Amino acid sequence: MALVSSTPLLEEARAGGYCVGAFNVHTLEMLQAVVEAAEEVQAPLIIQSTVGTVKHLGADYIAAAATVAANRSSVPIALHLDHCSDFNIIMQCIRAGYTSVMIDASHDPFDLNVAATLKVVEAARAVGINVEAELGRVGGVEDDIVVDEHDALLADPDDCARFVELTGVHTLAPAIGTAHGIYKGDPNIDFDRIGRIASKVSVPLVLHGGSGIPEAQVKKAVSLGMSKMNVATELRIVFSDAIKAVFANNPDENDPRKYMVPAKQALKAAAIEKMRLCGSIGKA
């Protein structure tokens, strides 16, 4: 089937009490691995790329590869641009065929965040694609965006309700205590805040910083209303470690197929495990 907007996928997830795994990919092999994982377990899938990956590979290359994957697959697949503050890059990705984009103006004051988000929502409305925005500031490092833990700011539930009403945004990523990257200890997730936000907004909520969150915490966050979970760092580590293992055993290996295949297999297994945590297996 063709690439789809993530809006119906996430609305179904919220209504069904599960969430959809959203996986950042940086190579063709990573993209193939998460698609093969979704196909094997019949889970809906969101493929994501960062701004850095768009600059590295090209939005048209990424969209073309994702389109081929979607056309070959029996599960619904959306293609999402993650954490973008540049309106021009967002438009470039929309024109290339992305079916979901994130405008991240969370570093700006509330009114400016509203204005930037509304501009993207209006542009995306014509082509029927999803728009995600962030309120509060999620700590850690995501591509070129760095938020020190002392600068992280949790989202206010009333502000979330006002923000959704003012912008008409399709999905909201509120800062609730998670962080991008791998946690040094257990994440300090504010579950009460998730519940209060979910009670005030009707749109699906997005859990950023999904790498390394303990199983019980993921399931609790999902039960409270998180409908999309982003995973990036953990996938890069699994993929890279598998390649390193090949070279550790055979330093002279020079056939990319010999190290990309085990890397794909490792990433596929990791993606399936995340889909299990999301509760999305069999939901395609």
**136 has binding-site annotation:** no
Q: How far apart are CA 231 and CA 240, in angstroms?
A: 15
* DSSP calls for 175-217: -SS-EES--SS-----HHHHHHHHHH--S-EEE---TT--HHH
For residue 82, indicate whether it is catalytic. Answer: yes
Average pLDDT, the chain: 91
Q: 228 vs 125, 143, 187, CA distance in Å? A: 21, 19, 18
Q: Of the given ranges (44-48, 117-121, 193-197, 209-213), which has the lowest mean pLDDT?
A: 209-213
Instruction: Supply angle C-alpha 272, 277, 278, rounded to 5.
Output: 95
The one-letter code for the residue type at 152 is: A
Q: Is 27 annotated for ligand binding? A: no
Mean pLDDT of 162-178: 93
Average pLDDT over residues 131-148: 65
pLDDT (mean) for 214-232: 93
Flag whether 97 is marked binding: no
Ligand-binding annotation for 181, yes or no, is yes
Query: What CATH fold (topology level) applies to the domain 6-278?
Result: TIM Barrel (3.20.20)
Burial of 190 (0-12, 13-18, 19+ CB in 10 A): middle
- The structural domains of the chain, with segments of one domain joined by +, span 6-278
Average pLDDT over residues 209-224: 87
225 band by pLDDT with thresholds 50, 70 and 90 = very high
Kindly indicate the confidence band of residue 137, based on its pLDDT and cuts at 50, 70 and 90: confident
Amino acid 154: pLDDT: 87
Compute the distance between CA of residue 274 and CA of residue 235 in angstroms, rounded to an integer: 10
| For residue 210, pLDDT beyond 90 | no
The catalytic position among 82, 86, 143, 241 is 82
Rounded to an integer, the average pLDDT of 80-96 is: 97
8-21 pLDDT, tens per residue? 999 999 999 999 99
Are 208 and 180 in contact by the 8 Å Cβ rule? The answer is yes
CA 94 to CA 96: how far, in whole Å? 5
